[in-house]
Amino acid sequence: MTHEYLTYRELADRLGIKLESARKTVLRKGWKRIQGNDGIARIVVPNASLPSPKDNAPDTSHEMLALETEIKHLKEMLEVTKQDRDRWHALAVRPWWRRLAG
């Protein structure tokens, strides 16, 4: 069985729980604690107890749909802005007497 050495903070992040809950989990499961030379405790956590990376991955399909909708909206706004710019440019390059006469 393989293990990982994690700090309480890392364990809490991996499990998606609060720091105090991680401390209680370590006590409840009886996982070994090792004091590092840096003074930080590391917990020997069996890999089977940690969620796999795909379990932690959030569902981003709705976010992707929202971003695609936003991109479409921004492209439409850009096109309208370009048309407005071209219309103003056409007016600006006309001779002054044509602008007065209409």
Q: Please list the pLDDT of the chain residue by residue as tens digits (102 residues).
A: 689 899 999 999 988 899 999 999 999 999 999 998 889 999 999 988 888 766 555 667 788 888 999 999 999 999 999 999 999 998 888 887 777 776
* Domain extent at residue 96: 61-101
The pLDDT of residue 96 is 78
For the chain, what is the domain count? 2
Residue at token pair 């609060």: 18
Q: Quick one: 88 exposed, middle or buried, by C-beta within 10 A (0-12, 13-18, 19+)?
A: exposed
Tell whether 25 and 65 lie within a shared domain. no
User: CA angle at residue 83 from 80 to 86, to 5 degrees?
Assistant: 150
Tell whether 48 and 65 lie within a shared domain. no
The pLDDT of residue 100 is 76
- Using alpha carbons, select from 61, 68, 29 the residue that is nearest to residue 45: 29
Tell whether 38 and 68 lie within a shared domain. no
Query: How many Å apart are CA 65 and CA 76, to the nearest integer?
Result: 17
Tell whether 41 and 9 lie within a shared domain. yes
The pLDDT of residue 47 is 87
Tell whether 46 and 67 lie within a shared domain. no
Tell whether 29 and 8 lie within a shared domain. yes
For the full predicted model, state whether its pTM sits above 0.75.
Answer: no
